């Protein structure tokens, strides 16, 4: 895509641009401004994925992990993040992934976020190797109480894939 009115120019290191060069710079700036203001900038024009065109999408996790999650496709890099509902104990809970969103997962992270972080030392693991499944539909979280007596917590989850 060419910009009407644009003129290529260059200077060498240490060269002081002449008035003519500065005028070209100003003309190019005006040409880009006119060009961009006349364009209908769309995801297709920028060759971005359809997920980006819709922006961030939110959903309520219907699996037993509960919570609200968000996801976006940034040109093929797919991100999902959110916070589970509060749950008790150390039994594995699940997060259902958006249908057909991920082809694979490359990694993820889980962090305990409360409400009892002041009385407990909490952590969690994914219940399986999240990178081993093609077209994953859910991930499991296994909470671990390291210290403290109240296992009620929420967990922040971040996943990245394609």
CATH assignment at residue 117: 2.60.40.3940
CA-CA distance, 66 to 63, in Å (whole number)? 6
Q: Given this model, what pLDDT does residue 157 score?
A: 92
Q: Which helix (H) or strand (E) holds 50?
A: helix 50-53
The pTM score is 0.64
Same domain assignment for residues 135 and 60: yes
Question: Which residues of the chain, if any, have pLDDT below 50?
Answer: 43, 53
The answer as to whether 94 is a domain residue is: yes
84, 135 contact by CB (below 8 A): no
CA-CA distance, 92 to 98, in Å (whole number)? 19
Tokens found for residue 135: 């077209």
Same domain assignment for residues 69 and 34: no
The answer as to whether 63 is a domain residue is: yes
The answer as to whether 116 is a domain residue is: yes
Q: Given this model, what pLDDT does residue 87 score?
A: 76
Same domain assignment for residues 79 and 140: yes
Q: Given this model, what pLDDT does residue 93 score?
A: 87
CA-CA distance, 53 to 45, in Å (whole number)? 11
The answer as to whether 82 is a domain residue is: yes
Same domain assignment for residues 68 and 146: yes
Q: Given this model, what pLDDT does residue 60 score?
A: 94
Per-residue pLDDT reduced to its tens digit, 103-139: 999 999 988 776 665 556 667 788 889 999 999 999 9
């Amino acid at each position: 895509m060419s910009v009407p009115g644009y003129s290529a120019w260059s200077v060498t290191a240490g060269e002081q641009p002449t008035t003519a060069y500065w005028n070209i710079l100003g003309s190019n700036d005006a040409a880009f401004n006119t060009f961009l203001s006349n364009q209908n900038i769309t995801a297709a024009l920028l060759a971005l994925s359809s997920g980006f065109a819709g922006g961030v999408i939110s959903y309520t996790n219907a699996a037993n992990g509960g919570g609200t999650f968000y996801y976006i496709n940034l040109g093929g890099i797919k991100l999902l993040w959110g916070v589970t509902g509060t749950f008790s104990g150390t039994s594995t809970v699940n997060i259902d992934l958006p249908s057909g969103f991920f082809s694979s997962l490359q990694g993820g992270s889980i962090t305990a976020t409360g409400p009892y972080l002041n009385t407990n030392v909490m952590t969690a693991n994914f219940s399986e190797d999240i990178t081993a499944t093609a077209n994953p539909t859910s991930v499991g979280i296994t909470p671990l109480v390291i210290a403290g007596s109240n296992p009620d917590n929420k967990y922040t989850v971040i996943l990245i894939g394609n």
